[in-house]
Amino acid sequence: MRYIMHRLVLYIPIILLVTVLVFLLMRVIPGDPALLILAGTSGEGSFNKEDLVNLRRTLGTDRPLYVQYGTWVWGLLHGELGTSLFYRTPIKKEMGPRLPATLELACLAMLVSVVLAVPLGALSAVKQDSLLDYGARMFTFAGISIPIFVTGLVVVYLLVRLFNWFPPLGYATLWEEPWTNLQQVTFPTLTLAFFELNFTARVTRSAMLEVLREDYIRTARSKGLVERRVILLHALKNAALPIITVSAWSLARLLGGTIIIEKIFLVPGMGTLLLDAITARDYTLIQAIVLFYAVVVLTANLVVDVLYTWLDPRIRYA
């Protein structure tokens, strides 16, 4: 319990630091947002001094930085993400419809990659130095060297050229139109999962190799347990700990991957929204999306920490 409290206490200042970092990044580097809006992206818009002062007042950028930061965080605490500079709509309205696609992609890809990678890594470790092990190691090593945009492009290109399949436009949620949804997410999910499973399989393999050398495995074998029982119940259960530890990083990597996959497969998710926001120089929107990703990753880390205490009593009582 104390461990969980400790984690929770650490979580809050880091979220605050993240907001400071995002705020500074978006306010200090780009310069005056009001000037940017009036001048347009090409810098040709005409305006007078009065417009500039007025716009600064509406945007609130005429106030000192700490007041702006305070207002922003106060809004965040009340669930207000602010207004998009470009669309002039509440950011919540922009992000809301994009959220399900990205989360679905990331979660499904995580699921598929774990389902494929854990048996692969475990088999590779159990049959160490066999042909299967070498094959699996070569496959995963090559896999981590192929960037995700390469895999994605090759998959789409082959689908388009060979099967005349095009990435469907728009997005239907799983609960509204399950069939359309599956058609939309299958290939992006598989591509993402292929990317991630190499990392998971490698972690699984090295975790299993370590566990298989432990005394309790020898004990389990010497008391005459069937090998399958030893592997599944004794070894894999213990090897799960390091796999779960890295799963928060997996999620971070997958979320980064969704940006590229969404662009390639034309999925209207958070990633494409972020890319559009960057093109439109919509700083408030970029700020909100970047913060969103960081909060998701930090929360995943927290969940993993809590899960860990539940799975490993040594930490709970330490």
Partner 1 sequence: MLRAKNGVALSLPEARPGVGRRLPLLTALTTFARKQPLGVLGGIILLSLVALVLLAPLLSPFDPYAVHVLHKYAAPGTVLAETGQRFWLGADQLGRDTLSRLLYGARVSLVVSLISVGIGVTLGALLGIVSAYCGGTVDLLVQRLVDTVMAFPAIILALAIVAVAGASLRNVILALIVLLLPASARVVRAQALAVKEMDYVLAARATGADAWRIVLRHMVPNCAAPYIVFATANLGYAVVVEAALSFLGVGTPPDVPSWGGMLSITGQKYVEVSPWLVVFPSIAVSLAVFGFNLLGDAIRDALDPRLKGAQE
Contact residues toward partner 1 (CB under 8 A) are: 13-14, 17-18, 21-22, 25-26, 29-30, 141-142, 144-150, 153-154, 156-157, 160-161, 166, 206, 209-210, 252-253, 255-257, 259-260, 263-264, 274-275, 278, 281, 283, 286, 290, 293-294, 297-298, 301
- CA 15 to each of CA 5, 92, 301: distance values in angstroms, whole numbers, following the listed order: 16, 19, 12
Q: How far is the CB of 130 from partner 1 (least distance, A)?
A: 14
Could you tell me the smallest distance in angstroms from the CB atom of residue 31 to partner 1? Answer: 9
Q: Residue 149 Cβ, how far from partner 1 at the closest point, in Å?
A: 5
Q: Residue 84 is encoded by which pair of tokens?
A: 């998009």
Nearer to partner 1 by C-beta: 162 or 223?
Answer: 162
C-alpha 236/C-alpha 212 separation (Å) is: 9
The residue among 19 and 181 lying less far from partner 1, judged by its C-beta, is 19
The distance of closest approach from Cβ of residue 223 to partner 1 in the complex, given in angstroms and rounded to an integer, is 26
> CA nearest 307: which of 248, 236, 233, 221?
248
Tokens of 29: 């580097």
Q: Which of 16, 226 has the CB closer to partner 1?
A: 16
Burial of 49 (0-12, 13-18, 19+ CB in 10 A): exposed
Q: How far is CA 77 from the centre of its chain?
A: 23
Q: Give the residue with the Cβ less far from partner 1, 73 or 225.
A: 73
Q: How far is residue 262's CA from residue 241's CA, in Å, rounded to a whole number?
A: 31
| Shortest CB 275 distance to partner 1, Å | 6
Nearest to partner 1 of 88, 161 (CB atom) = 161
Give 31 or 178: the residue with its C-beta nearer to partner 1.
31
Decide whether 96 or 147 has the Cβ nearer to partner 1: 147
Minimum gap (Å) between residue 147 Cβ and partner 1 = 5
The distance of closest approach from Cβ of residue 145 to partner 1 in the complex, given in angstroms and rounded to an integer, is 4
DSSP letter at 32 equals -
Closest C-alpha among 296, 192, 206 to residue 242: 206
Which residue type is seen at 63?
R
Q: How far is CA 305 from CA 2, 8, 41, 118, 143, in A?
A: 12, 10, 44, 21, 28
CA distance 163 to 202: 33
**Looking at beta carbons only, is 100 or 257 nearer to partner 1?**
257
3-state secondary structure of 90: strand
Pick between residue 141 and residue 216 the one whose CB is nearest to partner 1: 141
| Secondary structure percentages of the chain, helix, strand, coil, to 5 | 80, 0, 20
Q: Distances from the Cα of 196 to the Cαs of 78, 107, 140, in angstroms?
A: 35, 12, 10
Nearest distance in Å: CB 177, partner 1: 25
Query: How many other β-carbons are positioned within 10 Å of the β-carbon of residue 19?
Result: 18
Residue 14 C-beta: closest distance to partner 1, Å: 5
